[in-house]
Structure 1
Amino acid sequence: MDWLERINRAMDYIEQNIVGEIDFKKVAQLACCPEYHFPRMFSSMTDMTLSEYIRRRRLSLAAFELQNDTNVRIIDLALKYGYDSPDAFSRAFKNLHGVNPTAARHKGIELKAIPRLSFQISIKGAVAMEYRIEVIDFDIEIVGVKKKVVTKDAFQVIPQLWGEAAESGLLQRLIDMSWENPQCKMEGILGVVGKQAAITDEEFEYLMGCRYTNEFSDDMEKMVLPKSTWAVFPNISEAWQRLYTEWLPTSGYELADLPCIENQLAPDRVPSSELWVPVIAK
């Protein structure tokens, strides 16, 4: 119930600020979810992005205004609902409703109403969520290259970073390094997400690296994580989607003050990736 109250509190904030500026960091804070993870959690529950929901909700309210006040100006509605120009507003309006704003003034025109979202208790768990708990009782040394990532763009930017790493040769260097002294358990190519599991800043550093204890080149740097407990989930994408809505609320664990790690395993491994989430018992 606590989780349900938090997510609905976030939706209340969006609705209260649907006309004007919506602070996505504030939305995530109200849901008690890291800003980096909230958009994916929202998408997994609703089958639409948070930005898409807000856009559709605003255009729905604009349609109501056009029907109820035939004197309202298109330019005023465009500015009210966050569009830089009447043309941009009209294109978005037509994409959703199938008609332009001028036609929407007339009675008998079919429009789409996008209601305010609220979340209720539903039955979960029909599909098992596999995980294991790993206790690593020594410091983890990770060597790699850090890149700045804007939090709200993370899920689009990080795959691009790995694509660039493959083209530049960095990925192959990390693969070669990882085989010099293979480490047990967390042995793949690693993406270390920021400094804490709960990312609240507008940007964070994403380290592309591997566990490594030998000398390394000047363009790389080392991160050392203290001994800790990890919940490990197969398949990174699915794990992010279900972590906050299904596993964490009922697990008896909470997030530890360490970064989450995306672990890419060898191509012949099944699964091919793992999400390592730092946890402590409640």
Structure 2
Amino acid sequence: MCKESLENRIKRVCDFIQHNLEGQLDLAQLSEVAALSRYHFHRVFLAYTGVSVIKYLQLARLKRASFQLAFELDMKIIDIALTAQFDSSEAFSRAFKRTFSQTPSQFRQSPDWPNWYRLYEFTLPSNNDAIAVSIVEFAHTPIAYLTHHGNPQRVYESAGQFVAWRKQSQWSPIAHCRTFGIPNGDPSTMKEDDFEFKICGSLQQNMTSVPDNEFSVKAGAIPAMRCAKATHFGSHDTLEKTIYALYEQWLPQSQEQLGDHPVFFEYLNLIHEVDECDLRTDVYLPLA
């Protein structure tokens, strides 16, 4: 059996889990999805991901629960627990604390995102599908933004502050305005202290300024420019794969020249609103 065949089977299982987090899943069912004998499936899964399939399933459910705790403050912990397939808030709390060293209440109040990230540093089978790229004229877009400085593993802290500002104000409501992210570079290639990430929301029509606020949200704009655009499907953790596909696969064949603006993202939906597998993110590569 070739390596690619096994990798595709494990990817199929990961995708199936992500689309069925609220279902009753077991090893027998998942081994059928992989088309592998149940006697070998769990070992093959562990070999390709570095975690057991049961651990992966629990981490996937707890990951969604983490975002609900951090960003859906009106959602009750018991409802989050039941959605994550726990029979009670007590069982959910025990599993959550055992995994993240914080209770759900502690995480909701002050998430330890760097520790959270360490739990998700396993490798998943990659998607090698070719990306679809279009050339677009991005229009000048007034925005409100909050700048995150430093550790990229703490971006969600800043995102939580920006979400809180959006819900409190009427200047960039989540339901009616676009959401962008603008990094100043690849965090894996720069010093932590040099990393910045602007979390942005488009402003409502005819609004070009933002009142002073406790969240340090400011007004700005994304300038008009030509861009190559590709849509990334799934986890934000794998955005780099789409970014580098633009640089490595598309750009050399396009005869285009790069523009003087960093790559940026438009989040077509948000992590606390949909399952991670259903995330859609437009990646914009500025052109001259």
Same fold (TM over 0.5): no
TM-score where L is the length of structure 2 = 0.40
Q: Which has the larger radius of gyration?
A: 1
Structure with the bigger percentage of helix: 2
